[in-house]
Amino acid sequence: MGKPTGFLEVDRELPAERDPGERIGDWGEFHLHLGEGELREQGGRCMDCGIPFCHMGVNLPENSPLAAGCPINNLIPEWNDLVYRGLWKEALERLHKTNNFPEFTGRVCPAPCEGSCVLGINELPVTIKNMEVSIVERGWEEGWIVPEPPEKRSGKSVAVVGSGPAGLCCAAQLNRAGHRVTVYERSDRLGGLLMYGIPNMKLDKRLVQRRIDQMAAEGVTFATDTEIGEDVSATQLREDFDAVVLCIGALNARDLPVEGRELKGVHQAIDFLHANTKSLLDSDLANGKFISAKDQNVVVLGGADTGT
């Protein structure tokens, strides 16, 4: 706990957002960034609680759908303190101990850590999510994040089916443990919902590709446009690899059986996001293979991350 009185002296501060008039001219992210001094002050708000619910990642009560804290057990008080003390590289090392891709979660995670922050009982919680993405982006800017291939190989091989966040994390961990890893993806691009399910303004696809490039440099092999059961059989995978991990995701949307659901112009969010993001990446929308809402009156059912 770098500053015992930080939570008493410093108010919660989040980055400003780009002006809407500017944002409508591109597909870029709309959050700006805090300066180093401001980030260090925000890190000083962390109280280093005796029981840090922010990083516990547990269900309360047991087996309940109600979760508390970070589901991947990020060491949040530790890297908050390190940022406050200006030890950015050390903060990055602590962050990477529990999270392979903090630049993804720091942008799109709903931040149950902040909902579990003890400071939030009486004040606004610590800006944990913004701190996470600030640490990892500092790491990229400084050149601290580089390929880390294993020093030796185990002689074992693993096939990972699916290149979404679970598949990529699995592949990264297994590869660094020394196993030969091949990731199979049926789409034309890697990343799963990171690539086609989240629009650019929330997660720039260059950030996804940046991590994939790092993994490739570490020795992970990727096979796109390859559907298991069609292009490669499950039997062949079992014969060619010592182990197979299924990370196939959940692309089937939950439908809404109401009158008029079958009418023209009623779309599932996943179909809309996939088509429009792919068209943007393929041709900057020049190919016309997207669902246009131009000059339409639009109703969005659902107000969570997908809806917004």
d(CA 272, CA 265): 11
pLDDT tens-digit readout, 276-295: 999 999 999 999 999 999 99
> Mean per-residue pLDDT for 249-263?
88
Is 259 within a domain?
yes
pLDDT band at residue 210 using 50, 70 and 90 as cut-offs? very high
Look at the chain and report how many structural domains it folds into.
3
Specify if 49 maps to a domain: yes
Q: Residue 193 belongs to a domain with what CATH number?
A: 3.50.50.60
Q: Is the pLDDT assigned to residue 59 strictly greater than 90? A: no
Q: How confident is the model at residue 274 (pLDDT cuts 50, 70, 90)?
A: very high
**What average pLDDT score do residues 47-52 get?**
89
Residue 85 and residue 122 in one domain? yes
For 295, phi then psi, to 5°, come to 60, 20
Torsion over CA: 40, 111, 32, 136 (sign): positive
Residues 138 and 23 in one domain: yes
Q: What is the pLDDT of residue 249?
A: 85
- Closest C-alpha among 8, 88, 83 to residue 40: 83
Cα separation, 158 vs 240, in Å, equals 9
Kindly report the average pLDDT of the chain as a whole number.
94
Distance, CA of 287 to CA of 290 (rounded, Å): 8
Looking at residue 274, its amino acid is H
Q: What is residue 66's predicted lDDT score, i.e. its pLDDT?
A: 66
- The residue with tokens 């050390």 is 90
Q: Count of CB atoms within 10 A of residue 289's CB?
A: 12
Q: Is residue 43, in this structure, part of any structural domain at all?
A: yes
pLDDT at 148 over 80: yes
For residue 9, pLDDT over 80 is answered with yes
What pLDDT does residue 56 have? 85
The pLDDT of residue 133 is 98
Amino acid letter at 197? Answer: G
Domain carrying residue 278: 252-298
63 pLDDT above the threshold of 80: no
User: What would the mean pLDDT of 172-176 be, rounded to a whole number?
Assistant: 98
| Residue 147 is assigned to a structural domain of this protein | no
What is the pLDDT confidence band of residue 46, given thresholds at 50, 70 and 90?
very high
Give yes or no for residue 187 having a pLDDT over 80. Answer: yes
Q: What burial class does residue 161 get, using C-beta atoms within 10 Å of its C-beta: 0-12 exposed, 13-18 middle, 19+ buried?
A: buried
- If asked whether residues 19 and 125 sit together in one domain, one would say yes
Q: Are residues 42 and 64 in the same domain?
A: yes
> H helices of the chain, where?
6-9, 20-23, 36-43, 76-84, 88-98, 102-108, 112-115, 128-142, 165-176, 193-196, 205-217, 234-240, 269-283
Residue 245 has what pLDDT? 98
Given 101, 116, 142, the domain boundary residue is 142
CB 190 within 8 A of CB 222: yes
| Within-domain flag for 15 | yes
* Token pair belonging to 8: 């008493």
Q: Confidence class of residue 251 from pLDDT cuts 50, 70 and 90? A: confident
Mean pLDDT of all residues in 264-284:
95
Alpha-carbon gap, residue 110 to 105, rounded angstroms: 8
Domain co-membership, 263 together with 173: no
| Residue with the two structure tokens 């700006």 | 32
* Torsion angles phi and psi, residue 298, rounded to 5: -115, 135
CATH number at residue 126: 1.10.1060.10
**How do residues 119-140 score in pLDDT, each as one tens digit?**
999 999 999 999 999 999 999 9
Instruction: Specify the pLDDT at position 265.
Output: 92
Distance CA 192, CA 249 (A): 8
> Do the domain assignments include residue 84?
yes
Pairing state of beta strands 180-184 and 157-161?
parallel
Percent residues over pLDDT 70 in the chain: 97
* Residue 252: pLDDT band with limits 50, 70, 90: confident
Q: Is 33 left (phi over 0), alpha (psi -120 to 50) or beta?
A: beta
Q: Is the pLDDT of residue 67 over 80?
A: no
